[in-house]
């Protein structure tokens, strides 16, 4: 198996510099804040092998960069169209697809997500798959909360999870108002 070359780009966000990893086809392979780079690299090794990839500084901004910047400016749907690579197990991919169906501005418990996936007793497995997600924001694992509505684990830190949820809540409501106004 030959080594894959992944491009590493950075963008500024209101909550710190964000690293964006893409492959030669420009599909997303990983996203993480710079201060959590070891987590990003650990997940990349898990999915592609320790010798299966090399990170290189991006020669130009990844196509995902404008969409992520738009997300941080309040255009929450901008990341929905981004192509992601198919890493992980079948179950993880099932969970990650379920995460992408949680609307911006909404949250769901681990048990609620497990039930929506047709696996009502798999809330712990859903939590593990959620924690192994290499693409936060695009695969919005931050939208999953505890059964008691508490903020629970987020690989990038609970402060960022709170910020993302607040950001989405603020702009999801604004977008609904703008859509209503444009129809009238």
Alpha-carbon dihedral of residues 67, 73, 76, 77, nearest 10 degrees? -40
- Give the pLDDT of residue 174: 52
Calpha distance 161→50 (Å, rounded): 29
Look at the pTM and tell me if it is higher than 0.85: yes
Per-residue pLDDT tens digits for 88-99: 999 999 999 999
How far apart (Å, rounded) are the C-alpha atoms in residues 42 and 129?
15
Domains plus CATH for the chain?
4-79 (3.30.160), 90-183 (1.10.10.10)
Q: Is there a contact between 21 and 69 (Cβ–Cβ < 8 Å)?
A: no
Q: Which tens digit of pLDDT belongs to each residue from 119-171?
A: 999 999 999 999 999 999 999 999 999 888 888 888 899 999 999 999 999 99
- The residue behind tokens 């909360």 is 145
Instruction: Lowest mean pLDDT of 37-41, 58-62, 78-82, name the range.
Output: 58-62
Closest among 105, 115, 112, 99 to 146, alpha carbons compared: 112
Phi and psi torsions of 20, nearest 5°: -130, 120
Give the pLDDT confidence score for residue 184 in this predicted structure.
Answer: 32
Average pLDDT, rounded, for the chain = 89
Q: Is the pLDDT of residue 28 over 60?
A: yes
> Tens of pLDDT along 87-127?
899 999 999 999 999 999 999 999 999 999 999 999 999 99
Enumerate the active-site residues: 141
pLDDT of residue 61: 84
In the chain, % of residues over pLDDT 90: 75
Task: From 135, 183, 164, select the one nearest 76 (Cα to Cα).
Answer: 164
């Amino acid at each position: 198996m030959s080594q894959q070359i992944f491009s590493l780009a950075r963008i500024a966000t209101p909550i710190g510099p964000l690293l964006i990893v893409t492959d030669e086809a420009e599909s997303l392979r990983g996203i993480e804040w710079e201060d959590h780079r070891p987590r990003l690299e650990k997940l990349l090794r898990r999915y592609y092998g320790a010798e299966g990839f090399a990170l290189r500084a991006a020669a130009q901004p990844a196509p995902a960069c404008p969409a992520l910047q738009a997300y941080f400016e309040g255009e929450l749907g901008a990341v929905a169209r981004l192509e992601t690579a198919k890493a992980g197990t079948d179950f993880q991919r099932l969970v990650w697809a379920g995460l992408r169906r949680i609307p911006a501005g909404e949250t769901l418990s681990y048990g609620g997500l497990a039930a929506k996936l047709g696996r009502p007793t798999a809330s712990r497995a859903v939590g593990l798959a959620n924690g192994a997600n290499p693409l936060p924001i695009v695969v919005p694992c931050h939208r999953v909360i505890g059964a008691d509505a508490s903020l629970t684990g987020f690989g990038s830190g609970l402060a960022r999870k709170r910020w993302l949820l607040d950001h989405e809540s603020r702009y999801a409501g604004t977008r609904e108002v703008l859509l209503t106004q444009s129809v009238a």
